[in-house]
Structure 1
């Protein structure tokens, strides 16, 4: 006598491991982000309620605020001039790369379309999380506040540079997103759907703010590191953020190319201004007794 039957619902170890890996990665992210947020809030609380003993800073000194405004104006000027002077060659290279990726935007989207699961989903979830512009601003604030509270001027200045680069990159991309009005990959069937000046949700694809913010932060961080591998790690993290935006259908590939260029330009404007030799000056607007005026700001 023979017995026959079927077994249903069985899965292979490989199939079982994929959701497990995704679950673990998401749990790690869910646990890490609140910790980072709490750390940031703790730093802000310390800064607001505790006397600061470092060099003059924007929390305690009106003079420091004025200096910061003048410095930021000078960096903004370098940022706006950068595509022509001194990065004209880089501008042409970026334009060529942007045009090339624009041609293949839809092919790249199709390549990454479909179900996302397993290790790559976990990696790109992490890339999306760590490339968040708000998180970057929190990191800059944490460095600045920690440096001010502990009398570590170099740490405070690092946070200062990060914040300035992020404001330039995020501000530029925010304006361009609304002005250009490009449809996101999940919003339109093609990469040439535009609704300029309408500031509509889903039509704010170009450029990628996550990528711009990541590269601005990477440039400033890398400028403080002597090791080649350390610098490469900074840019690898920024590149992961850009790749994750494309992989998960949040942006076209060309959005990421332009975002990376803007972020790099913003970071370079800050580090160039900081390293300018004595005698370098720029004109910055300010107010004197309520009346508009201009000032020469720089190193003398």
Structure 2
């Protein structure tokens, strides 16, 4: 045992590691956000991508020096109120927000399942798209928000635990989703290939690693697909078929509307490909809205 380990006043290396992880995490989240996403003018050329430190400080109502120290892994105290403000400024999704509070060694005072990037305007857009099914997905295929039609495209998505509202998780582990995806084999192969390509930018992020480990442990089918090491870039649109237990076969064109310049979070809309699908979708809408 080293002499440092025997000294009662030896610094806690775990705290130092955690502070450095927090600093790296904040920088990575700051650099992915375009100024216009948070209501700032795009401006001219920037030396670094994303927001500047002083912009994060301003939007979070904290001092620039204090925030700079936070990104420099200084040993400073941070309140849960400030962490909450930073999480909102950086548009953290629920998994990222949880990770922020863990790294800061603080308890989240409001561990809700709302995602800061899902604005009231975006929620209204989802609602007004009905009777078209629509949702917002991130790069991990987490379903961040959805309208009632998407929520009943397969079964009742509201009844699923929050951590299970992920398209890959449902497609590989839910019997209802496995039966509803008509072209399931091709869809799963494509999803895994895109997830692997996207993960190249997120290999050190706990939310991504946690989902990957969870899928590998739960589904031998996913593990086999993962071991093929196939990669694919996100598509702009395509077609998909669902077998809905209440109204039958639904044929859709789906369209991605990207909400982030790095092709991560997107609004996905489903448009009927044929008249029978349009009629069945209207019936499903009537059933859903009737309660």
**TM tier relative to shorter chain:** under 0.3
TM-score by length of 1: 0.25
TM-score by length of 2: 0.25
| Structure richer in helix, relative to its length | 1
Does 1 or 2 have the higher relative contact order (CA < 8 Å, sep 6+)? 1
